[in-house]
Amino acid sequence: MSAHDQEKYLNKLKGANVLVIGGTSGIGFAVAEASLEYGAFVTVSSSNPERVHKAVAELQAAYPSRKDRVKGYECDLGEQATLDANMRGLLERVVDDTGRKIDHVVHTAGGGGLLEGKLAEMGPGDILGQPVMTRFFAPLMLAKHAPEYMSPGPRSSITLTSGVIAMRPMRGGMASIQSAFAAGLIGMTKGMAMDLAPMRVNLVLPGPVDTPLYDPLPEAVREGMKAQVGGTTLTKRFGRPEDLAESYLACMKDENLTGASLETNGGISLV
Ligand SMILES: NC(=O)c1ccc[n+]([C@@H]2O[C@H](COP(=O)([O-])OP(=O)(O)OC[C@H]3O[C@@H](n4cnc5c(N)ncnc54)[C@H](OP(=O)(O)O)[C@@H]3O)[C@@H](O)[C@H]2O)c1
């Protein structure tokens, strides 16, 4: 009789139906990779169809034996008028195309550059624009529709994304707005954990991470910022998406974790 090692921890995501909203780039793309490596079926989504196509092709090339486990759909979450219907349509499509309910949703979608501008120049309509719609209101619409499209029980989870600016506002003229919504996500996560229980809801708060989010900045500014951040963090480097993915995996796999906020920022919030 041959003995087999137990695989109590390795298989927690095996066969799970995972949707990564914002999974075509950066942190979300790394979560999609990690989920595939742990044996999940993965759907990535974002607003740009070319980006969706490219991300699916890259994932299929990186995991050729799991090609049929990767799907991708376009879904724009940046417009108030279409947000509710688009979120619902995305969840419905994933359930229809995979033939079963979704076990885990990870939300990393967040466009609109780095929310440039000045508070002094903004009205309420500007504040409730695409960056806030995608990062703050989209999770609320996700919570609205989750009971219909997600598997019930503590094995299922939603993981949202905020940022270190929730605790440590950034200079630049937009700190009031950025930090209000970033910190609001901490309360939203606790409330959603209550509303959707026993399904679990958690939040990841990244510090600076090297992703295409910074591509719109001029190269010199980007490189200067990376060097400055690298000198500031306790880890002495910029975060990597593959490091961040571990926190999202923990949120999906730890069936005892709910309402929690995980800070992963190289210690930058301490200095
Ligand atoms: N990188 C950092 O240093 C850092 C630090 C703290 C917090 N964060 C937050 O973490 C989240 C992920 O950041 P990241 O660095 O991974 O950024 P990223 O590489 O730019 O990825 C953002 C993702 O969101 C999608 N997206 C943008 N607008 C969208 C919309 N209207 N509807 C649906 N999807 C949309 C993008 O795809 P499309 O363009 O195709 O829509 C992309 O897949 C963001 O909320 C960001 O603010 C990042």
Q: Quote the pLDDT of residue 1.
A: 57
Q: Which 3 state secondary structure label does DSSP give 126? A: helix
Residue 42 CA to its chain's centroid (Å): 14
Mean per-residue pLDDT of the chain: 94
Give the closest residue (by CA) to ligand 1 atom 47: 110
| DSSP strand pairing (200-206 vs 17-21) | unpaired
Q: Does the pLDDT of residue 17 top 70, yes or no?
A: yes
- Read off φ and ψ for residue 5, nearest 5 degrees: -65, 145
- Assess if residue 168 is contained within a domain: yes
Answer whether 131 contacts ligand 1 (Cβ < 6 A).
Answer: no
202 versus 127: the higher-pLDDT residue is: 202
- pLDDT for 68-109, tens place per residue? 999 999 999 999 999 999 999 999 999 999 999 999 999 999
Residue where the block lists tokens 């990244």: 206
**CA 134 to centroid of ligand 1, rounded, Å:** 9
- Assess if residue 205 is contained within a domain: yes
**CA 25 to centroid of ligand 1, rounded, Å:** 7
d(CA 102, CA 99): 10
C-alpha triplet 60, 62, 67: angle, nearest 5°: 25
- pLDDT for 21-40, tens place per residue? 999 999 999 999 999 999 99
d(CA 67, CA 50): 18
For residue 77, give the ligand 1 atom closest to its CA: 32
Considering its fold, how many domains does the chain have in total? 1
Query: What is the pLDDT confidence band of residue 114, given thresholds at 50, 70 and 90?
Result: low
Give me the DSSP letters along 27-43.
HHHHHHHHHHHTT-EEE
Host domain of residue 21? 17-214+240-270
Tokens encoding 236: 């002495």
- Assess if residue 101 is contained within a domain: yes
Answer whether 46 contacts ligand 1 (Cβ < 6 A).
Answer: yes
CATH code assigned at 137: 3.40.50.720
- Read off φ and ψ for residue 129, nearest 5 degrees: -90, -165
Q: Quote the pLDDT of residue 116.
A: 67
Q: Do 30 and 242 form a contact (C-beta atoms < 8 A)?
A: yes
End-to-end CA distance of the chain: 57
User: Which residues make Cβ contacts (< 8 Å) with residue 18, sequence separation at least 6?
Assistant: 32, 35, 40, 41, 42, 43, 102, 103, 104, 105, 106, 252
Sort residue 73 into left (φ over 0), alpha (ψ -120 to 50) or beta. beta
- Assess if residue 106 is contained within a domain: yes
Exposure on the CB side of residue 178, measured as CA atoms within 13 A: 22
Which one-letter amino acid corresponds to residue 254? D
Q: Quote the pLDDT of residue 138.
A: 98
Give the closest residue (by CA) to ligand 1 atom 27: 111
- Assess if residue 61 is contained within a domain: yes
- pLDDT for 197-247, tens place per residue? 999 999 999 999 999 998 888 899 889 988 888 889 999 999 999 999 999
Q: Do 12 and 68 form a contact (C-beta atoms < 8 A)?
A: no
Average pLDDT over residues 11-15: 96
For residue 55, give the ligand 1 atom closest to its CA: 43
Answer whether 76 contacts ligand 1 (Cβ < 6 A).
Answer: yes
Residue where the block lists tokens 């120049």: 121
Is residue 162 annotated as part of the catalytic site, yes or no? yes
- Assess if residue 8 is contained within a domain: no
Q: Do 106 and 156 form a contact (C-beta atoms < 8 A)?
A: no
Give the closest residue (by CA) to ligand 1 atom 1: 209
Average pLDDT over residues 168-183: 90
Active-site position among 45, 162, 247, 261: 162
Tokens encoding 237: 């480097």
- Assess if residue 118 is contained within a domain: yes
For residue 130, give the ligand 1 atom closest to its CA: 31
What is the helix (H) or strand (E) element at residue 71, kind and residue range?
strand 70-74
**CA 6 to centroid of ligand 1, rounded, Å:** 37
- Assess if residue 9 is contained within a domain: no
Tokens encoding 223: 């490189």
